[in-house]
Chains A and B, each alone.
Chain A
Amino acid sequence: MNAKPRILPEGGRLQYLQKLVSEFQETTSQEAKEQVLANLANFAYDPNNYQYLRDLQVLDLFLDVLSEDSDTLVEFAIGGLCNLCLDKVNKEYILQMGGIKPIINCLSSPNEETVMSAVTTLMYLSTPQSIEELTALPVVECMLRFSLSANKRLSNLATIFLEDYCSPSQVEKAQNLSAHSAVGIPLPKD
């Protein structure tokens, strides 16, 4: 995972990623789109690729796909964002492009991987400027319910979100709110 000598020359990697982006834009096959997007999202795990992905505007591509109907495409796109959002430049870009809103929307996805990627992405996007938007009341309320989920992975993430990113008063406020109204964002289905 760490910087190992790459077999691919520098240009080779960029060219390859360029090919992937082109195919994603040109293909009409849903299957090919999913494969290519998964490919790109996995490339986004490795910090060595960040510059190429920025050059190819893959961050915009991921953010765009969040509004797609396809569950799988959204899962892969938020996975890609989760993978690259820790980098300072990428983080600032996502925040600047108004990425928080579509990511928060992912919390209501029926796909658990999408939800978990979204929770982690929100935590990773926290900055002194963004924290307020990230910990808006509906989000905290959502996390409260996730923290009670039987899914250990999700409840762990939500617990960390509440403990590390929210103030006790915010949590209390959300608790009061959810006590009054049972209506909220539905838990994701399988």
Chain B
Amino acid sequence: MADSGGEVGGYHPHHAQRAVCDSRAKYREGRRPRAVKVYTVNLESRYLLIQGVPAVGVMKELIEQFALFGAIEQYNALDEYPAEEFTEVYLIKFQKLQSARIAKRKLDERSFFGGLLHVCYAPEFETVQETREKLQERRRYIARTTGIKEDKVQPMTKKKLYKEHTVSKDLRNDFHSKASEFCATPSNARTEYPWNYQTNSWNSAPCHVSSKSVTSQSGEFLEVTLISPQHDGNFKKTMSSCNQNNSLIQKIEMEIPKTSVDCLGPPKVISSNTGIARFMPRTTQLQERKRRREEDRKLETFLETNPSNKEIIIGPQLPEIPKVDLEDESLNMSANLIRNKLKEVISPQLKPSEDKLEDTHISQPLKQRRRI
């Protein structure tokens, strides 16, 4: 025997798969055919030996399979172990004996990449201390679970108490082992599909960023996309004004003058292009702005030379497009004048009165309202 149980890592008779027993009496037949073997605490172990792994570089997959049943403390291939041709032998050490038990039960005799796994306990890899702990664990387990039985003669209430006590303990154990399994599973999944996770995050990240920028910069980007490129000449101005007045209150204040500014501004046909808010890289934005500014300038000159375009389209105002800085000293000045005047006169109405418009369009070319 001393020879057979040679060095650690070598072949041991208890690794051999025993012949399945096919002569059992009918009433003793189990669900799965099994050999005649008695398991004791000596035979079980946190170490599992896995034979019959096809030698096609599937260690990662193998470990992942086993990690489904609990945390694995260490694993390695046993190169020197006598293996069948084209197969490999692996050693896996679980953190908990219970994990090893379940893994063995679930994965023994399972096909894996075209091979049939043979999983057995490998207690010969245990150190003295590990064996000692294993024996003590069994001692504790029995002490825990047989607490009831020793008190069978005790009165009912106490018995019940004991029973409840142990049951809850058992449940907790059960739960604990299950929890550890669950714990193991997601972490495993993460390692299993790191790329999926990453691509997901990359996919979602731009969306997130875009929506954030849309909201945080108080509608700038919304404007970018909502206003058709040819007609939003004052986009840039708007933006700068926005930047100047960051606080909400200021913006609200600006809503009143805005109407007047609209009227004061150079006449523009701002069509209601229902664009979709989408993310644009910054460089594109800059180019786009530049292009619009140029277009706007053209349009301005065109409108100025085309006085027939004085029709005022009145419709619900688009909210919150404050236009303050008109980038022209005289324009700004008159805008301020009118703003102050309006502050005295007007109460916050959505619809500016005809008079005002008439008032303003005497001095300034009419600016058309956006129609929605």
Contact = CB atoms under 8 A, between A and B. Distances in A.
Interface of A: 1-4, 16, 19-20, 23, 31-32, 34-36, 38-39, 41-42, 45, 47-48, 50-51, 75-76, 79-80, 82-83, 86-89, 110, 112-113, 116-117, 120, 123-124, 149-154, 156-157, 159-160, 163-164, 187-190
Interface stretch (B24-32, B107-115, B364-372): B24-32
Residue of A47, A50, A157 with highest tally of chain B CB at under 10 A: A47
Contact of A116 (B28, B42, B146, B177): B42
Contacts, number: 137
B174 A113 contact: no
B240 interface: no
B2 A120 contact: no
A156 B37 contact: no
Given A117-B40, A153-B124, A1 B98 contact: yes
A150 B2 contact: yes
Main secondary structure of the interface of A (DSSP, over half): helix
Given A35-B28, A41-B38, A120-B135, A154 B173 contact: no
B139 A124 contact: yes
Contacts of A86: 138-139, 142-143, 146
A31 B36 CA distance: 10
B123 interface: yes
B145 interface: yes
Residue of A19, A35, A188 with highest tally of chain B CB at under 10 A: A35
B36 A35 contact: yes
B319 to A, nearest CB: 63
A156 B1 contact: no
Interface in B131-145: 131-132, 135, 138-139, 141-143, 145
Interface residues of B, number: 52
Given A2-B174, A3-B174, A156-B128, A47 B40 contact: no
Interface stretch (B7-15, B195-203, B281-289): B7-15
Residue of A39, A50, A112, A163 with highest tally of chain B CB at under 10 A: A112
A160 B25 contact: no
A112 B142 CA distance: 25
Given A2-B170, A153-B5, A79 B135 contact: no
Contact of A152 (B5, B23, B174): B5
A187 B1 contact: yes
